[in-house]
Amino acid sequence: MNYETIVGLEVHVELSTKTKIFCGCSTEFSKEPNSHCCPICLGMPGTIPLMNKSVVEYATKAGLALNCQIAEFSRFDRKKYFYPDLPKGYQISQYYIPLARNGYVEIDSNGKKKRIGIRIMHMEEDAGKLVHEEGSSYSLVDLDRAGVPLIEIVSEPDMRSGEEAWQYLNNLKTILQYIEVSDCKIEEGSMRCDINISLRPEGSNEFGTKVEVKNLGSFRAVKRAIEYEEKRQREILESGGSIVQETRRWDEDRGITIFMRGKVDNRYSPEPNLAPVIMRKDWKDEISARIPELPGAKKERFIKEYGLPEYDASIITASKVLSNFYEECVKHYHDPKVVSNWLMVELLSILNETGQGIEDLKFTPKQFCDMLAMIDKGTISGKIAKDVFREMFATGKSPEAIVEEKGLVQISDEAELESIAKRVMEANPKSVEDYKNGKKKALGFLVGQVMKETKGKANPQMINAIFSRLLDQ
Amino acid sequence: MDKGTLYRVADIAHVHLESREIEQISKDMDFLLEYFDKLSQVDTESVLPTVCPINDKNVLRDDEVWDSLPIDEVLKNAPDKHGRFFRVPRIIEE
Amino acid sequence: MLELDKLTIHKAHELLSKKEITSEELTKALLKRIEEMDGKIKAYVTLNSEEALERSSEIDKKGDFTEDLSGIPVAVKDNICTKDLRTTCASKMLENFVPPYDATVIKKLKEKNALILGKTNLDEFDMGSSTESSYFFTSKNPWNLERVPGGSSSAAAVAADLAIYSLDSDTGGAVRQSAAYCGVVGLKPTYGRVSRFGLAGNAGSMDTIGPITKDVKDCAIVLNAISGMDLFDPSSSDTIVPDYLESLKTNLQNVKIGIPKEFLGDAVNKDIKNAILNAAKTFEDMGFICEETSLPNVEYALWVHYVIASAEASSEMCQYDGVRFGHRAQHYENLKDLYKKSRGEGFGLEVKKRTILGTYLLDLEGNDKYLVKAYKLRTLIKQDFEKAFEKYDFLITPTTPTVAFKIGEAKDSLNVNDMCTVPVNLAGLPAISIPCGFAEGLPIGLQIIGKAFDEAGILQVAYAFERNTDYHKKLIAWKEA
């Protein structure tokens, strides 16, 4: 029998507000444990949560960017469980009346657009961190993350493969980064994802028993875990077994999921100490006005406005900073495709090598375009330009200064080039002979020798022309 | 309330009960729940519940950082601590 | 000879201002009285003698007594957090808890140079009405040591001159009931009038902080000091705070008082009923109009209050887990067992009972019917009051249906002694209890309930009553005897 995979994701995203959700303690990463704690986030007697206005605004912004309906009236509840990283014995969350519902994120599924529904998006507080020292019979508790604001985004079970889940997460991340509510770094824990996965016979309309998978450290891990679970569950079903509702843990090293715990019933009760969040139209409109052009729309525009291929447009708009950098460049340079080639190949690879971000770039879009213009004018060759670019990246100096300093100006002097060409011909009679005998490839070798001699500074068009003239005589 | 239920609820509430407490509480519960059941019959069909005394306006704090507690104050009341951490018995991964 | 421990706030303030006495003398006099008497009454859980003395001599040195409360010692109920001073909630769970912060009311009093004399007893986490569930001991009623002092021993402290006044808390009536049992004045403000930040409460939607004093004027003085909006309590109100002391000078006219018949039924002791009717007569003699009225749904109040209080308490009590603070068990098998044992050992019977009941109501499938019902009935009770206040300016009732009961004779959990006080908490209204007579040699309390945020009105009526009667003076006469 063929099975269809049904995937839903629960994503937690840390909001990048300055302070925690219910107190004024800083959300910055602390150098030492328990340095961002106060009576409120420690859950001490008689303290009352104080709602952070920015959290409401960031969360609403996210809800709107994810095409959700925003509740005019939402409320907080207590999700009760005992765990040492959770002060108070309950997590303040939104259960009965969440902030946002019924949104979606678009992905590409086999070349077609597909909407992945968002069932609920709500605000809640993060828990602290447990440190397990090896060999010790104790665990240590650090509560600096306790009370950091989160949004939880619960998708509909709309994804059908690991690939779709991977796309959904990427698009979700891009959107949230675009609206600047979170840095969404899954490796650092500011974005976290749990998987709900089940299988059903193809053609069936009923859902099978779902399994929850936790401890996913990267988008790739999400994809792999889904693919692993697909296989595991299929094998159970095919051998006549049945799936048990449970929570499993992804083991990245072994590439498998492991049983963690059985089904648990969460206990909720209303939070009597927090007033409801009232999101009236004027406030919502104000927040909505602050939402910039989102990646989907920007990509479409780049295709139309700059004539970029869809591939280029997706890569450039996958990052807000990159797309902004791109648009600045296009203001200063006439050929948008040349710019996208350079950014996609040279820039992204050097960023990848160095692990830096675009926001750390030392040069400006204008300087970058000046360099492209120098190629067009023949001041430098395209090959030299790559070196200049790396130097700009490293030092932030202007391309003119680099070319000047390093003497990288292209040799475009006809007479000088001719004398070099002649010298090369004399030194390589065999190649000259080959060329004359019809081995046109030999020209490449001769040009290469000139480049070697001039350290790449010879104007390639001119040297080609000179050789043609000299050899074809 | 039968002792099975009482034991289950106490377990959810994470409260250990001694056997004499179980006797006492189960007796009191019976009285209370019986009373509750009587009152459940009062008609409140069209009445809105009053949960939170404030529910008509936003009460929000500006996103401004305040001073957190110094570490000795944070840990002052901890029953067990280690360095800058609170300490609990080792948690075995479930 | 002037007995300093017997002073009211306003008298002490007058003497301090004139430099006829010093704050240190006053503090010493109270500490001496405590030393002599508290062995019998057992009002204090923790004394703050050294610091109080130190502060008093500092204040004397500065000599600035412009603030009404400057240099005057106060007793504080032990569920109101005091920085660097143990706050136990009369529970083993918090036996060693020393808060790193002050409750807002404490901060306000300290700003006015008040001195904290010590922390007074209560039922464990304020669950009860007799202090019998305190982990430490049962406090005694100074009028009769075999009787309970009510749910807060601070009223006993004020009545027995172990404190000039106290700050107390009221979730179901503790301030008013204890004041009534001990023959002093206790005011429960409107929900939101006084910040509850730092009050280790158990029912967030009903907890309030209020003063217990020797007379109405003192009550106005303390209310002036502690009222107002607080950024640390989102439920605190920005409604304007009048000068309560100043407002006592207002001459009341055309006052209409309602007497809800539900509070004068069979459950109410005959002498108390008569005392309330006499009080009504006193008001009529003053030109007020008094009429019988009805609050038909208050008969459900005890039940509604118990359900809501238990539900709110069960989740509020979750924060006591012995990780960051509080009692931790020595012997346990695993993490869950650690929680269960720590909480099992740290909490007493009544706290466990309410926690379990609350858990049952909130977390067992289908049981939310009780809670939803309770919240709905709460609406009906609130509406009863709203309707009554369309016609009347104030309502009067007994504060308690009987005088202070004997230690060990507390009724079941749904304590009928709270029948007159809990409806007021459910509706979030202000009410005061003042002495209005005696039965069995014990004081009777008159409860005056007002419209939301009309503390000034309540104080005016209470003040008028106090000036036209001599019950509060009987307290003094009794002390002298």
**Contact (CB<8Å) B12/A260:** no
Q: Is the pLDDT of residue C132 over 90?
A: yes
Q: What DSSP line would sit under C233-261, residue for residue?
A: BTT---S----HHHHTTSPP-S-EEEEEG
Task: Specify if A379 maps to a domain.
Answer: no
Contacts of B among chains (3+ CB pairs under 8 A): A, C
Predicted confidence band at C433 (pLDDT cuts at 50, 70, 90)? very high
How many angstroms separate the CA atoms of B53 and C192, rounded?
9
Task: Compute φ and ψ for C204, nearest 5 degrees.
Answer: -50, -30
Task: Specify if B11 maps to a domain.
Answer: yes
Task: Specify if B6 maps to a domain.
Answer: yes
More confident residue, A205 or C260: C260
Domain boundary among A233, A256, A285: A285
How near does any CA of chain B get to the CA of A272, in Å? 5
- Considering only CB atoms, which chain C residues are within 8 Å of A273? 204, 234-235
Contacts of C among chains (3+ CB pairs under 8 A): A, B
Domain spanning C4-256+393-480: which superfamily? Amidase signature (AS) domain (3.90.1300.10)
C35: enclosing H helix or E strand: helix C23-41
Please tell me which of the candidates A35, A138, A249 has its beta carbon nearest to residue B82: A138
**Contact (CB<8Å) B85/A39:** no
Mutual angle of helices A414-427 and A429-436, in 10-degree steps: 100
Whether A302 contacts A313, CB under 8 Å: yes
Q: Is the pLDDT of residue A314 over 60?
A: yes
Predicted confidence band at B54 (pLDDT cuts at 50, 70, 90)? low
Please tell me which of the candidates B16, B25, B76 has its beta carbon nearest to residue C353: B25
Q: Does B42 touch chain A (CB under 8 A)?
A: no
- What is the total count of domains within chain A? 2
- Considering only CB atoms, which chain A residues are within 8 Å of B75? 34
Q: Is the pLDDT of residue A75 over 60?
A: yes
Give the pLDDT score at C481: 56
How near does any CA of chain B get to the CA of A332, in Å? 39
Give the pLDDT score at A421: 86
Q: Does C225 touch chain B (CB under 8 A)?
A: no
Q: Does B3 touch chain C (CB under 8 A)?
A: no
- Considering only CB atoms, which chain A residues are within 8 Å of B58? 51, 56, 275, 277-278
Task: Specify if A348 maps to a domain.
Answer: no
Give the pLDDT score at C222: 98
Give the pLDDT score at C56: 97
- Stretch A254-270: mean pLDDT: 87
Q: What is the pTM of this model?
A: 0.89
- Considering only CB atoms, which chain C residues are within 8 Å of A89? 315, 317-321
How many angstroms separate the CA atoms of C415 and C407, rounded?
14
**Contact (CB<8Å) B25/C364:** no
Question: What distances in angstroms separate CA C175 from CA A427, C112, C385, one per listed residue?
Answer: 109, 23, 21
How many angstroms separate the CA atoms of C173 and C142, rounded?
19
Whether A222 contacts A195, CB under 8 Å: yes
Q: How many residues does chain A have?
A: 473
Domain that holds residue A131: 3-285
Question: Among residues C41, C283, C228, C39, which one has the least CA distance to residue C148?
Answer: C41
Give the pLDDT score at A170: 93
Give the pLDDT score at C449: 98
Q: How many residues does chain B have?
A: 94
Q: What DSSP line would sit under C112-124, residue for residue?
A: TT-EEEEEE-BSG
Cβ-count burial of B84 within 10 angstroms (0-12 exposed, 13-18 middle, 19+ buried)? middle
Task: Specify if A100 maps to a domain.
Answer: yes
DSSP tag of A453: H
* Portion 274-333 of A in contact with B at CB < 8 A: 274-278
- Considering only CB atoms, which chain A residues are within 8 Å of B94? 260-261
How near does any CA of chain A get to the CA of B45, in Å? 21
How many angstroms separate the CA atoms of A435 and A425, rounded?
11
Tell me which residue has tokens 């910055």.
Answer: A28
Please tell me which of the candidates B21, B61, B78 has its beta carbon nearest to residue C324: B78
- Stretch A289-313: mean pLDDT: 93
Task: Specify if A16 maps to a domain.
Answer: yes
Calculate the average pLDDT of chain A.
91
**Contact (CB<8Å) A142/B85:** yes
More confident residue, A356 or A278: A278
Enter the tokens of residue C125. Answer: 């986490």
Q: Does B48 touch chain A (CB under 8 A)?
A: no
pLDDT in tens, B79-91: 999 999 999 988 7
More confident residue, A164 or A263: A164
Enter the tokens of residue A381. Answer: 């060759």
Task: Specify if B87 maps to a domain.
Answer: no
Task: Specify if A298 maps to a domain.
Answer: no
A180: enclosing H helix or E strand: none
Q: Is the pLDDT of residue C328 over 80?
A: yes
Task: Specify if B22 maps to a domain.
Answer: yes
* Portion 367-386 of C in contact with B at CB < 8 A: 369-370, 372-373, 375-380, 382
Calculate the average pLDDT of chain C.
94
Give the pLDDT score at C411: 63
Q: Is the pLDDT of residue A191 over 50?
A: yes
ipTM of the complex: 0.93
What is the amino acid identity at position A259? Answer: F
- Stretch A436-453: mean pLDDT: 84
Give the pLDDT score at C330: 93
Enter the tokens of residue A329. Answer: 């460049």
Task: Find the distance separating the first CA and the last CA of chain B, reported in whole Å.
Answer: 32
Q: Domain holding B38: CATH number?
A: 1.10.20
- Stretch C232-258: mean pLDDT: 94
Residue of B41, B50, B58 for testing the chain C interface, max C β-carbons within 10 Å: B50
Q: Does B62 touch chain A (CB under 8 A)?
A: yes
Give the pLDDT score at B94: 42
pLDDT in tens, C247-281: 999 888 899 999 999 999 999 999 999 999 999 99
How many angstroms separate the CA atoms of C327 and B77, rounded?
10
Q: Which residue of B has its CA nearest to C206?
A: B53
Task: Specify if A381 maps to a domain.
Answer: no
- What is the total count of domains within chain B? 1
Predicted confidence band at C1 (pLDDT cuts at 50, 70, 90)? low
Give the pLDDT score at B11: 93
Q: Is the pLDDT of residue C431 over 70?
A: yes
Task: Specify if A342 maps to a domain.
Answer: no
Task: Specify if B82 maps to a domain.
Answer: no
Task: Compute φ and ψ for A80, nearest 5 degrees.
Answer: -100, 125
Give the pLDDT score at C476: 59
Q: Does B13 touch chain A (CB under 8 A)?
A: no
**Contact (CB<8Å) A48/C235:** yes
User: Number of H helices and number of E strands within chain C?
Assistant: 16, 11
Q: What three-state secondary structure class fits C19?
A: coil
Domain that holds residue B26: 1-43
pLDDT in tens, C206-222: 999 999 999 999 999 99
Predicted confidence band at C435 (pLDDT cuts at 50, 70, 90)? very high
pLDDT in tens, A220-240: 999 999 999 999 999 999 999
Residue percentage of chain A with pLDDT more than 90:
63
In C292-446, alpha helices (H) = 301-316, 335-346, 349-363, 368-391, 422-427
Q: Across the A/B interface, how many CB contacts are shorter than 8 Å?
A: 117
Please tell me which of the candidates A46, A49, A143 has its beta carbon nearest to residue C81: A46
Which range in A109-118, B34-43, C27-36 is most confidently predicted, on average pLDDT? C27-36
Ramachandran region of residue C117, left (φ > 0), alpha (ψ -120 to 50) or beta? alpha
Task: Specify if B57 maps to a domain.
Answer: no
Q: What three-state secondary structure class fits C136?
A: coil
Enter the tokens of residue A410. Answer: 């292209």
Residue of B16, B56, B86, B91 for testing the chain A interface, max A β-carbons within 10 Å: B86
- Considering only CB atoms, which chain C residues are within 8 Å of A78? 315, 318
Tell me which residue has tokens 């509840």.
Answer: A77
pLDDT in tens, A372-423: 998 888 788 888 888 889 989 999 888 888 887 877 777 778 888 888 888 8
Enter the tokens of residue A337. Answer: 């495709």
Task: Compute φ and ψ for C343, nearest 5 degrees.
Answer: -75, -35
Domain boundary among A267, A285, A303: A285
Task: Specify if A103 maps to a domain.
Answer: yes
Task: Specify if B61 maps to a domain.
Answer: no
More confident residue, A359 or C218: C218
Q: Across the B/C interface, how many CB contacts are shorter than 8 Å?
A: 143
DSSP tag of A26: B
- Stretch C312-341: mean pLDDT: 93
Task: Specify if B90 maps to a domain.
Answer: no
Give the pLDDT score at C480: 55
How near does any CA of chain B get to the CA of A96, in Å? 13
**Contact (CB<8Å) B9/C322:** no
**Contact (CB<8Å) A53/B61:** yes
Domain boundary among A269, A285, A301: A285
DSSP tag of A343: I
pLDDT in tens, A46-63: 999 999 999 999 999 999
Give the pLDDT score at A89: 93
**Contact (CB<8Å) B50/C300:** no
Enter the tokens of residue A137. Answer: 């019979």
